[in-house]
Amino acid sequence: MTHTGMLPNRRHMLGGAAATAVTLAAPAIVRAQGGALKVGVLLPRSGFEAGIGQDCQRGVDVAPAILKSLGLPDLAVMDGDTESSVDVARARAEKMIGEGAQLLVGAFDSGQSTAIAQVAEQKGIPFVINIAAAPDITEQGYKFVFRNFPTAAMILGDAFANQKEVFAIAGAAPKTVVFMHVNDTFGAAMSKGIGAVMPKFNMPYSILEEIAYDPAARDLSVEVAKAKATGAEALLVVSRLNDAMLLTRELVKQRWSPQAILSVGPGWYEDQYIKTLGKLADGPLSFVPWYDPNKKLSQVLEAALAKAYPGVNLNTNQVFTFEALLVAADAYKRAGSSDPKALADAIRTTNITDNVSIGPGIQFNAKGQNDKVKNGAIQNRGGKLLTLAPKEAANAKPEWPMKSYQDRG
Amino acid sequence: MPFDVYLNVAVSGVLTGLVYGLMALGLSVIFGVVRVVNFAHGEMMSIAMYLAVVLFAGLHLDPLIMLLPISAVLFVFGYILQVRLINPFITRPEYTQFLLLVALAIIIVNTLLIIFGPDARTIQTSYAYDSFQLGSLILDAPKLYAGAAAIVFAAALFVFFRFSLIGKAIRACADNYTGALVVGLDVKHLYALTFALGAACVGAAGVMMTLIVDVTPTIGPTYTLLAFVIVITGGLGSMPGALIGGVLIGLTEALAGLLFTPSAKSMFAFGILVLVLLFRPQGILGKRAT
């Protein structure tokens, strides 16, 4: 006796499996259409870039209320730590996508962002870069990678233009500089960019020597001694946070107060730099992607940050991390779906004019790059960050030359 | 480049090298007597560094004042470690000792990570930014204090081993294990004392290192490797060799950074190691194996 008729055959099995899949998938589809978009935010929350990663996180923390006030949909943020490592960034991106992230944001660092971009493109999940300047990331023909941050060449072009503007207002300029830079993906890209871009700007100074140093260095005494020995009038620097503090300590200990510190990167305007070094933090000029203090949304973001983190200055980290989430929420609203392709298409047609950063707003070109975002020139003074250039965003005049470290009491 | 630049960088390298030397001295003492290679050496130093950070943050106790108390804590830690954990492994194959100490190193790093988190911590003393100027020579005050303390600590250790009865007994154990047993020395106790002294050395070095560098839980392995480079260069088991090796590596790193590219300065320290291994495998002051 056989029971063939009673047993499920292959067709029944396939039908049952399909029905089960549809039943299981249905809630997910409903969630995707009506619920919050799952955004994986990958930042260096630990390791040598932890200070900056945590500063970026502040931009994430204040975003929900502001996005809601703008009538944008909710985002379900998933926190991820790249541990300041390229390999970990890649692994965490894969894990986050596996856990259901529908869009990725991050990762502050060019090397880590490059790794995440490869994963995002491979998996077909949109990735909005908050901060990363290596030009190659948006030169790969990627369809799911977008960057609302200038490339190294754009930063440098604006930096040199802003420097000339500051020199003109101050009525003084250094004739010589020594160029110190961190020896990582970002630092190397900036070094290469300086060589290519600087000749076009007819700068008043020449670079006497270029000194590259280890990004994880714990002592920069030799590097500063070498820089001081060049006799340069000013220091041109591309750094991170920890090394900016180490450099400042060595400048003080080796009794070298250059006419100006011209930073073309992070570190010198960070909150932790200012809090740790106090009076010694005053003076450096940073030529970096910045916010326009006169824009309405900048004032909203500044107020939200002041409320959530009293005493913390609004800076690049929070601004561009917030704007990355703004792009995500705006695209999700317009796409009306969490389908990765629909989201990517919506991001590609972004046109946000009510934004925070300097420039006409957020739009992406065919390569996924916002090529209209602009730099600002800022100076640390009395624990605050004052905007010196461009003229339309300025709220102070430069203090020149920088006050000697030995005269600060 | 003016001569005073070389002088400043060289002096800075020597001062840092002295602290390196004291750290490596602990490793050399332990190996010279107990014949155990301490693969958790840098990690033990990071314990001392965190003790200094905690005491400074909580009670504003200056690291230089806490030098001896923290060394004493590491001494006790080292003694207990040797008696309870390492002694049973003394007669076992070397690879089991290696695995034991590597496991201990991993446990220390991860315990520090759990307790303190991954971020760098610093000690901002009132003299953190001070420097002394002697003509064209600028001496970094924290490095000067750390270097001077390293010399005093190392000198005290030399005197102890040379002139004290316990020191002589420890040296007897190192020279002839069986002979030491025959004359009735408590070898296990002397081994534990030696390991404790090595731990105290690395504890003192760790406290002084907090004046020079920021502390992270993962700093240990870097210094374990550095200690090995130094003792192999100076001569494994030789106390003066460890100090000389430390100064040589500190000086090499500093001058290589100045003369070549700073981001590759560690490469030159390893270059010295390769040269020593090629042309004087027993190290600068080490004895040739018979």
In a domain, B287, yes or no: no
Q: Is A150 left (phi over 0), alpha (psi -120 to 50) or beta?
A: beta
Q: Give the pair of three-digit tokens for residue A283.
A: 């003076």
Tell whether A257 is within 8 A of chain B (Cβ).
Answer: no
Expressed as residue numbers, the domain containing A160 is 153-291+376-407
Q: Give yes or no: residues A55 and A142 share one domain.
A: yes
Q: For residue B186, give every residue at least 6 positions away whose Cβ sits within 8 Å of its Cβ, in sequence order, or none.
A: none
* B25: CATH: 1.10.3470
Q: Looking at residue A223, what is its pLDDT?
A: 93
Phi, psi of A245 (to 5 degrees): -70, -40
In a domain, A20, yes or no: no
H or E element that contains A147: strand A145-147
Least confident of A48-52, A116-120, A182-186: A48-52
Q: Give pLDDT tens digits for A86-105.
A: 999 999 999 999 999 999 99
Query: Angle at which helices B41-59 and B3-34 pack, to 10 degrees?
Result: 110
Q: Among B133, B140, B266, whose Cβ lies nearest the Cβ of A221? A: B140
| A186-210 per-residue burial string, b: 16 or more CB within 10 A, e: under 16 | bbbbbbebbeebbeeeebebebbee
Q: Among A46, A211, A220, whose Cβ lies nearest the Cβ of B119? A: A46
In a domain, A318, yes or no: yes
Q: Give pLDDT tens digits for A213-224.
A: 988 788 899 999
Q: Give yes or no: residues A105 and A134 share one domain.
A: yes
Q: Looking at residue A141, what is its pLDDT?
A: 93
In chain A, pLDDT over 70 holds for what percent of residues?
A: 91
DSSP-derived secondary structure letter, A369? B
Q: Give yes or no: residues A270 and A393 share one domain.
A: yes
Q: Looking at residue A214, what is its pLDDT?
A: 86
Q: What gap in Å lies between CA A364 and CA A127, rounded to an integer?
A: 13
Q: For residue B281, give every residue at least 6 positions away whose Cβ sits within 8 Å of its Cβ, in sequence order, or none.
A: none
A129 and A149 in contact (C-beta within 8 Å)?
A: yes
Q: Give yes or no: residues A380 and A262 share one domain.
A: yes
Q: Give yes or no: residues A262 and A394 share one domain.
A: yes
Chain B: give the shortest CA distance to residue A19, in Å. 46
Q: Give yes or no: residues A210 and A276 share one domain.
A: yes
Residue A175 has a CB neighbour count (10 Å cut-off) of 12
* Among chain B residues, CA nearest to A54: B119
Q: Which residues pair with A81 in a beta bridge?
A: A43
- Strand order across the beta sheet in which A234-238 lies: A206-213, A176-182, A234-238, A260-263, A285-289, A375-381, A384-389
Tell the residue number behind the tokens 């900056």, with chain if given.
A52
Q: What gap in Å lies between CA B152 and CA B181, rounded to an integer?
A: 33
Q: Give pLDDT tens digits for A100-130.
A: 999 999 999 999 999 999 999 999 999 999 9
B63 and B52 in contact (C-beta within 8 Å)?
A: yes
In a domain, B289, yes or no: no
Q: Give the pair of three-digit tokens for residue A176.
A: 């010589």
Encode chain B (290 residues) as per-residue pLDDT tens digits: 778 889 999 999 999 999 899 999 999 999 888 888 899 999 999 999 999 999 999 999 999 999 999 999 999 999 999 999 998 888 888 889 999 999 999 999 999 988 987 777 889 898 988 889 888 898 999 999 999 999 999 999 999 999 999 999 999 988 888 898 899 999 999 999 999 999 999 999 999 999 988 898 889 998 999 999 999 999 887 888 999 999 999 999 899 888 887 777 778 888 999 999 999 988 988 776 55
Which of B247, B287, B272, B242 has the alpha carbon at shortest distance from B24? Answer: B242
Angle at CA of residue A406, ends A402 and A409, nearest 5°: 105
Which of B25, B42, B116, B63 has the alpha carbon at shortest distance from A50? Answer: B116
ipTM: 0.79
Chain B: give the shortest CA distance to residue A226, in Å. 6
Across chain A, what does the average pLDDT equal?
Answer: 89
Q: Among B118, B138, B258, whose Cβ lies nearest the Cβ of A50? A: B118
Q: Give yes or no: residues A180 and A215 share one domain.
A: yes
Q: Looking at residue B239, what is its pLDDT?
A: 85
Q: Looking at residue A234, what is its pLDDT?
A: 97
Tell the residue number behind the tokens 């909203």, with chain if given.
A300
Phi, psi of B211 (to 5 degrees): -75, -20
H or E element that contains A206: strand A206-213
Q: What gap in Å lies between CA A83 and CA A359, rounded to an integer?
A: 32
DSSP-derived secondary structure letter, A313? P
Phi, psi of A181 (to 5 degrees): -145, 150
Q: Give yes or no: residues A170 and A270 share one domain.
A: yes
Tell whether A242 is within 8 A of chain B (Cβ).
Answer: yes
3-state SS, residue A38: strand
B contact test, residue of A191, A221, A273 with most B CBs within 10 A? A221
Amino acid present at B125: T
Determine, for residues B258 and A183 on separate chains, whether the beta-carbon distance falls below 8 Å.
Answer: no
Q: Sort strands B137-140 and B131-134 into parallel, antiparallel or unpaired.
A: antiparallel
In a domain, A195, yes or no: yes
In a domain, B284, yes or no: no
Q: Give yes or no: residues A320 and A397 share one domain.
A: no
3-state SS, residue A146: strand
Predicted structure pTM score: 0.77
Q: Looking at residue A22, what is its pLDDT?
A: 43
A43 and A53 in contact (C-beta within 8 Å)?
A: yes
Dihedral angle over CA of A136, A139, A140, A143, nearest 10: 130
Chain B: give the shortest CA distance to residue A405, in Å. 10
Number of domains chain A is built from? 2
Q: What is the DSSP string of chain B?
A: --HHHHHHHHHHHHHHHHHHHHHHHHHHHHHHHH----TTHHHHHHHHHHHHHHHHHHH---TTTTHHHHHHHHHHHHHHIIIIIIGGGTTS-HHHHHHHHHHHHHHHHHHHHHHH-SS-B----TTTT-EEEETTEEEEHHHHHHHHHHHHHHHHHHHHHHHSHHHHHHHHHHH-HHHHHHTT--HHHHHHHHHHHHHHHHHHHHHHHTTTS-B-TTHHHHHHHHHHHHHHHH-TT-HHHHHHHHHHHHHHHHHHHHHS-GGGHHHHHHHHHHHHHHH-TT-SSPPPP-
In a domain, A177, yes or no: yes
Q: What is the DSSP string of A242-305?
A: HHHHHHHHHHHHTT---SEEEE-SSSTT-HHHHHHHGGGGSS-EEEEE-B-TTSHHHHHHHHHH
Q: What gap in Å lies between CA B78 and CA A307, rounded to an integer?
A: 49
In a domain, B288, yes or no: no
Looking at per-residue pLDDT, the higher value among A232 and B235 belongs to A232
Q: Give yes or no: residues A241 and A325 share one domain.
A: no
3-state SS, residue A180: strand
3-state SS, residue A124: coil
* Among chain B residues, CA nearest to A184: B263
Tell me the residues of B at the A interface, defined by beta carbons under 8 Å apart. Answer: 1-2, 5, 8-9, 12-13, 16, 117-120, 122, 124, 128-131, 133, 138, 140-141, 212-214, 219, 253-254, 257-258, 261-263, 265-266
Number of domains chain B is built from? 1
Question: What number of H helices and E strands is found in chain A?
Answer: 12, 12
Q: Give yes or no: residues A133 and A92 share one domain.
A: yes
Q: Among B5, B122, B253, whose Cβ lies nearest the Cβ of A229? A: B5
Expressed as residue numbers, the domain containing B52 is 3-279
In a domain, A255, yes or no: yes
Determine, for residues A46 and B117 on separate chains, whether the beta-carbon distance falls below 8 Å.
Answer: yes
In a domain, A21, yes or no: no
* A340: CATH: 3.40.50.2300
In a domain, A15, yes or no: no
Q: Looking at residue A34, what is its pLDDT?
A: 62
A72 and A329 in contact (C-beta within 8 Å)?
A: yes
Q: Looking at residue A215, what is its pLDDT?
A: 82
pLDDT band at A50 (very low <50, low <70, confident <90, very high): confident
B contact test, residue of A88, A183, A213, A222 with most B CBs within 10 A? A222
Q: Give pLDDT tens digits for A246-294.
A: 999 999 999 999 999 999 988 999 888 898 888 999 999 999 999 998 8
In a domain, A5, yes or no: no
Q: Give the pair of three-digit tokens for residue A325.
A: 């989430």
Q: Give yes or no: residues A127 and A94 share one domain.
A: yes
